[in-house]
Amino acid sequence: MIRLASRRNSAVFCLILAGLFLLGLAGCGGGEKEAAQPSGQAEPVVMAVVTALGSSEGQDSLRAAQLAAEEINAQGGISVGGTKRPIEIISIDTREHEAGVPVSDALAALEKIITEKKPHVIVSGAFRSEVLLASMDLIPKYKIPYIINIAKSTKFEEKVLSEPEKGKYFFRLGSNSAHMAQYLGGLLENINQQFGFKSAYLVIQDTLWAQGTGKAVEGWLKEHGWTVVGYDAYPVGASDFSATLSKALQGKAQVIIPVFDMPQCAILVKQARSMKVPALIVGRLAPLVPQEAWDVFQGEIEGVVCAVEEYGSVPVKAAPKSVAFVESFTKKYGEERARKMIDHGVGASYDAVYMVAAAIERAGSLDPDAVSSALQQTDMEGTIGKIKFGNDHQAIYALDPKEGAIGGAFQWKAPGVRVPVYPPSVAEGQIELPSYMK
């Protein structure tokens, strides 16, 4: 009797697990982490993606790096001191984007892949700034060139400048938190000129990077004579924004400036529409960036002006490599996957592989110091615009892709098109007021 009951229990539990497994199979195809395999006989140049692979940014960064490696391998690989060698992409999930995962765990993952797989270069590094800053004490021990595409703190540049011996292996291709504030400032200037808007309400995610951007934008607004109707910071996980929207409504804010990357910020946009707040939404809303966002939100995002961290995976004609990259990505991973692609870090990861390959060829060896010196001399056209580094090892961001890397903003327009609107060098349309504001 007992054995029968035990068997029945086991069967029931297996059923639950089987059901969950089927549920997963029916869902997305995410989770694959295959490496780009070397094609030739020569020993491969090993490039590592060491970031939060459970995040959209991390997953797509890995895919972008694999795509670049395959393209280079198809051309015969990298010439290292006269020998053609293929690229091998390896990866490890640091899980640093998950709440509660300590910096030490992410560092342990980094050290594990370094000691076990001995990569020559890390082409996509830390997701969180704390992890990046801590890595800057660890990496010099192993002497590995390290490219950052996602972590945004400007303390990185400070550390590179103050501790050049440690900082010499590090280069950031992705934008930092100050760049976003600069692009938003220019964008608001355009909005002021076009519509005469002069009052704004800031609503910010209560995290370090968003607060940094928010405070910088607030300063810009005050400096340029705007009225700041309000400034609210919401903790991660907040799911009701009615208080802010009521105050924005009462204060007659003409522009609402959100700065968020948490998924719940989608509620803010939907709630603003349902509360009929007659304000233009202009800001950083990560879930609204992918192409598929129009369908996900059933067109309720029409008129929202979305800040872009880096063009690249959001293609613009003014940066032809971004268009080619998205086409190649779509061809390799399918349209459904490409429509989910986020902006931050993805184009930069693709560029990083090309940039490192070029630096190794210039250095003529895999010696980390020689490769780092060659990286500092980078001057190439990438998906994110022209790539050059300042003395602080941060890629130079500009308003024109011919002068530097670029971020900016696009506006969602019917029937689900992302129209680049800022900066003017990449704009493919004008900002239009959504129907509820006309």
Partner 1 sequence: MIESALIYGLVNSLVILLTALGFSLVFGLSGIANLAHGGLYIIAGYLTWILLKRLDLPLVVSIVLAILVVATCGALLYRGVIRPIKGTTWSEVVSTYGILVCIVEFFRWRGFITYEFSLPPFLKGGIEILGVSLDYQRLCVVIIGALLLLALFLFSHHMRLGLALRAMAQDELTALSVGIEPNWTATVSMALGGALAAIAAVTLLPMGLITVNLGYDILVIALAVSVLGGLESLVGLALASLLLGYAQILVSTFVGSHWMEIVYLVAIIGVLIFKPSGILGKFKELEERV
Question: What secondary structure, in 3-state letters, does 335-389 show?
Answer: HHHHHCCCCCCHHHHHHHHHHHHHHHHHHCCCCHHHHHHHHHCCCEEECCEEECE
- Closer CB to partner 1, 134 or 296, in the complex: 296
Cβ partners under 8 Å of residue 277, min gap 6: 245, 248, 249, 253, 256
- Contact (Cβ atoms closer than 8 angstroms) between residue 231 and residue 202: yes
> Considering only residues 38-77, where is the footprint of partner 1 by CB under 8 A?
54-56, 59
306 residue type, one letter: C
293: contact with partner 1 by CB under 8 A:
yes
Q: How far apart are CA 285 and CA 383, in angstroms?
A: 22
* Options 10-18, 77-85, 159-167, 346-354: segment touching partner 1 (CB under 8 A): 10-18
- Closer CB to partner 1, 2 or 196, in the complex: 2
Q: Report in angstroms how near the CB of residue 13 gets to partner 1 at its nearest.
A: 4
* Options 36-44, 73-81, 84-92, 283-291: segment touching partner 1 (CB under 8 A): 283-291
- Closer CB to partner 1, 145 or 287, in the complex: 287
Size of the site for partner 1 (CB under 8 A): 60
Residue 347, phi then psi, degrees to nearest 5: -60, -35
Strand-strand pairing, 199-205 and 170-172: unpaired
Among 39, 242, 330, 376, binds partner 1 (CB under 8 A): 242
27: contact with partner 1 by CB under 8 A:
yes
> Considering only residues 336-395, where is the footprint of partner 1 by CB under 8 A?
340, 342
For residue 185, what is the DSSP state? Answer: H
Strand-strand pairing, 78-80 and 408-413: unpaired
- Closer CB to partner 1, 15 or 417, in the complex: 15
Among 82, 196, 225, 237, binds partner 1 (CB under 8 A): 237
2: contact with partner 1 by CB under 8 A:
no
Cβ partners under 8 Å of residue 323, min gap 6: 315, 316, 317
- Contact (Cβ atoms closer than 8 angstroms) between residue 180 and residue 286: no
12: contact with partner 1 by CB under 8 A:
yes
Cβ partners under 8 Å of residue 425, min gap 6: 318, 399, 400, 401, 402, 406
290: contact with partner 1 by CB under 8 A:
yes
Q: Report in angstroms how near the CB of residue 339 gets to partner 1 at its nearest.
A: 8
98: contact with partner 1 by CB under 8 A:
yes
Q: Report in angstroms how near the CB of residue 364 gets to partner 1 at its nearest.
A: 40
* Options 11-19, 158-166, 184-192, 357-365: segment touching partner 1 (CB under 8 A): 11-19
For residue 317, what is the DSSP state? Answer: T
Q: How far apart are CA 223 and CA 225, in angstroms?
A: 6
List contacts with partner 1 (CB under 8 A): 8-10, 12-13, 15-16, 19-20, 23-31, 54-56, 59, 98-99, 203, 206, 232-235, 237-240, 242-244, 246-247, 250, 263-264, 266-267, 270-271, 274-276, 286-288, 290, 292-293, 296-298, 340, 342
